[in-house]
Structure 1
Amino acid sequence: MATPDPSSLEARLEELETRLAFQEHALSEMSDALAQARHEAERNAELVRRVMEELKSSRASFLADPAEEPPPPHY
């Protein structure tokens, strides 16, 4: 069995280190993108909640009891 060439092993090690560095960088970018997406989803959920509350309150005013409304100004 032949012994591996030290320069070949060094080249393979460099290639593995390069790949690892690239993967760590890609993982970091994906983590940042995920955090940003979660933040945006939370913000959108809050906006939807507020819109629903406003819709409920405006719906209540549309369905108000006519007896509770003040008379028109010409009376």
Structure 2
Amino acid sequence: MTEHQPQLQKQIDDLECKLAFQEHTIEELNDALTEQQKSIDKLNTQIAYLVTKLKAMEPSNIANMAEETPPPHY
């Protein structure tokens, strides 16, 4: 049984190394996801503000194409 211990220890060490790498990767992905969500929230706020501003604008003096009378030669 003692002859298998070095091999088992190596396997344990390899697994611990892989686990540490995965934990680090998950932490980095979580940080990136958090930053992206902050950006999305900010963009949504800006869009809502722009929509409000557009709705509040006075109508243009230019007539709508549907309201325009055709030229006299028609």
Bucket of the pairwise TM-score, normalised by the shorter protein: 0.7 to 0.9
In the other structure, the counterpart of 2:51 is: 52
TM-score normalised by L of structure 2: 0.74
Unaligned segments of structure 1, at least 5 residues: 64-75
Structure 2 CA distance, aligned partners of 1:45 and 1:62?
Answer: 25
Q: What is the RMSD computed on CA atoms of the aligned residues?
A: 1.6
Shift of 1:20: 0.3
The runs of 5 or more residues in structure 2 that have no matched partner are: 61-74
* Distance of 2:16 and 2:59 partners within structure 1: 67
Residue correspondences, number:
60
Hey, what's the Cα distance between the residues in 2 that align with 1:46 and 1:38? 12
| Counterparts of 2:11 and 2:59, CA distance in 1 | 74
TM-score normalized with structure 1 length: 0.73
Amino acid corresponding to residue 62 of structure 1 in structure 2? P
Q: CA deviation at 1:32?
A: 0.4
Match of 2:10 in 1: 11
Q: 2:59 & 2:37 partners in 1: Cα distance?
A: 36
Higher helix share: 1
In the alignment, what sits opposite 2:35? 36
Render the CA deviation track for 1:3-37: whole Å, top value 9, x for unaligned: 36111011000000000000000100111011011
Moved over 2 A (4+): none
- 1:24-69 Cα distance to aligned partner (Å, 9 max, x none): 00100111011011101100000000000110011xx116xxxxxx
